[in-house]
Structure 1
């Protein structure tokens, strides 16, 4: 199994902007066959080191993660994120 974790810092971290982007990320659920589970969380601490939103996705294999990366629904999310994010960090690991 593969865990895919991405943290996003948005250009506009207003509650409305975060709510919209959270909805876009949650919209992946049920649309990408390789996706086994999806969690999206909004930061509650709001410290200077905090990122605004976390995405945690689970896949059966590295091949499924790679299929997710090129899936048309994921590409739509990437388009949105390219517009709204200031930065992001990611880690992918087996468990």
Structure 2
């Protein structure tokens, strides 16, 4: 299995915008067959080094992760995130 984790820092960190963006991520659930699990967390500490949103997803294989990357639902999410994010970092690892 593969774990895919992405942290997002948004241009507009208002609570309303963070929640709206978190919902865009949550809305992928059940719409992409390769996506086995999804968890979206919103930062509660708001420190200088914090990112606003954490996305944690699980896939059966690297091939499934690659299929997710190009899936039309995920591509729409990428479009949204490209408009609203200031920065993002990710890590992918085998579990």
Bin the TM-score by the shorter chain: over 0.9
Show structure 2 runs of 5+ residues with no match.
Answer: none
Match of 2:28, SS?
coil
Partners of 2:68 and 2:35 lie apart in 1 by 7
Q: Does 1:60 align with 2:37?
A: no
Give TM-score scaled by structure 1 length.
0.99
Partners of 1:81 and 1:22 lie apart in 2 by 10
Q: CA RMSD in A?
A: 0.3
Q: Partner residue of 1:90? A: 90
Give TM-score scaled by structure 2 length.
0.99
Partners of 1:23 and 1:5 lie apart in 2 by 17
Q: Does 1:70 align with 2:39?
A: no
Number of residue pairs aligned between Structure 1 and Structure 2? 95
Show structure 1 runs of 5+ residues with no match.
Answer: none
Q: Partner residue of 2:22? A: 22
Q: Which consecutive segments of 4 or more residues in structure 1 shift more than 3 A?
A: none
